[in-house]
C-alpha cells in the first residue's frame, strides 16, 4: 500500500512536469484494481517533436532527482509517441494524431481518473539590465613639418603621421580603426601635371 502512495506522488509530479513544459490534455489513470501492469498511467500530448523531447527529458531528470529510475524507455527516436516505464507508473507522450489513433484514453475509459492540480511554480524574477554610457574615442592626426633639405631644390613637404590604431569601445565590442592611407608623392606629382 505504501508503494502505491509513492507512485501516486510520482505520477502527480510527472503530470505537473508535463504541464510546465506546456503538454496538453494530461490525464492520470489508476490501474491497480483492474490491471497488474502498473499502479498509474500518465498520458499527455505534445504539439511538436522538440516539445516531446523536452517533456521526456524534463520528466526523466526530475523524477530521477526524486529517486524514481527508468526501467524501460521506448521511442527515443520517435516523433509521434514516447513511453517511459518506471515500474509503478508509465508515462506516455503523444503527438495529437497518434494519441487519437491509438486512443489510450478509450482503453483506460473504465479506469479511475486521478484529479491533479497544476503546481504553483514560482517564476524567477526578471533581471534588470543596466545601461552603460559609451564614450566615443576621438582620433586626431598630428601634422609634422619636415625640415627642408639643403641638397636639391625640394620644398618642405607637410607629412601626416598616422598614429597606431586606437581602440573604439562600443557596447563592450572592440573595433580597431585603420590608420589613414598615405598618398604617394608620385601620384601627387602626376595630378599636378
For the chain, the structural domain boundaries read 2-113, 142-192
Q: What pLDDT is stored for residue 123 in this prediction?
A: 45
Q: Which CATH superfamily is domain 2-113 in?
A: Beta Polymerase, domain 2 (3.30.460.10)
Do 85 and 72 form a contact (C-beta atoms < 8 A)?
A: yes
Q: How many whole angstroms separate alpha carbon 159 and alpha carbon 150?
A: 18
Residues of the chain below pLDDT 50: 120-126, 169, 173-174
Contact call for residues 167 and 137 (beta carbons, < 8 A)? yes
Q: Note the pLDDT of residue 47.
A: 92
Q: Is the pTM of this model over 0.75?
A: no
Amino acid at each position: 500500500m505504501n508503494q502505491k502512495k509513492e507512485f501516486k506522488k510520482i505520477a502527480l509530479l510527472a503530470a505537473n512536469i508535463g504541464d510546465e513544459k506546456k503538454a496538453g490534455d494530461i490525464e492520470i489513470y489508476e490501474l491497480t484494481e483492474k490491471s497488474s501492469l502498473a499502479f498509474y498511467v500518465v498520458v499527455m500530448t505534445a504539439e511538436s517533436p522538440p516539445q516531446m523531447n523536452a517533456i521526456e527529458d524534463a520528466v526523466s531528470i526530475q523524477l530521477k532527482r526524486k529517486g524514481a529510475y527508468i526501467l524501460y524507455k521506448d521511442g527515443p527516436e520517435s516523433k509521434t509517441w514516447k513511453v517511459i516505464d518506471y515500474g509503478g507508473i508509465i508515462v506516455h507522450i503523444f503527438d495529437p494524431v497518434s494519441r487519437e489513433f491509438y486512443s489510450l484514453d478509450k482503453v483506460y475509459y473504465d479506469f479511475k481518473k486521478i484529479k491533479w492540480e497544476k503546481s504553483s511554480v514560482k517564476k524567477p524574477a526578471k533581471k534588470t539590465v543596466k545601461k552603460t554610457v559609451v564614450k566615443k574615442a576621438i582620433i586626431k592626426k598630428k601634422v609634422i613639418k619636415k625640415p627642408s633639405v639643403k641638397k636639391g631644390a625640394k620644398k618642405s613637404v607637410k607629412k601626416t603621421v598616422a598614429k597606431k590604431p586606437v581602440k573604439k569601445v562600443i557596447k563592450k565590442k572592440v573595433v580597431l580603426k585603420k590608420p589613414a592611407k598615405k598618398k604617394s608623392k608620385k601620384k601627387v606629382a602626376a595630378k599636378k601635371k
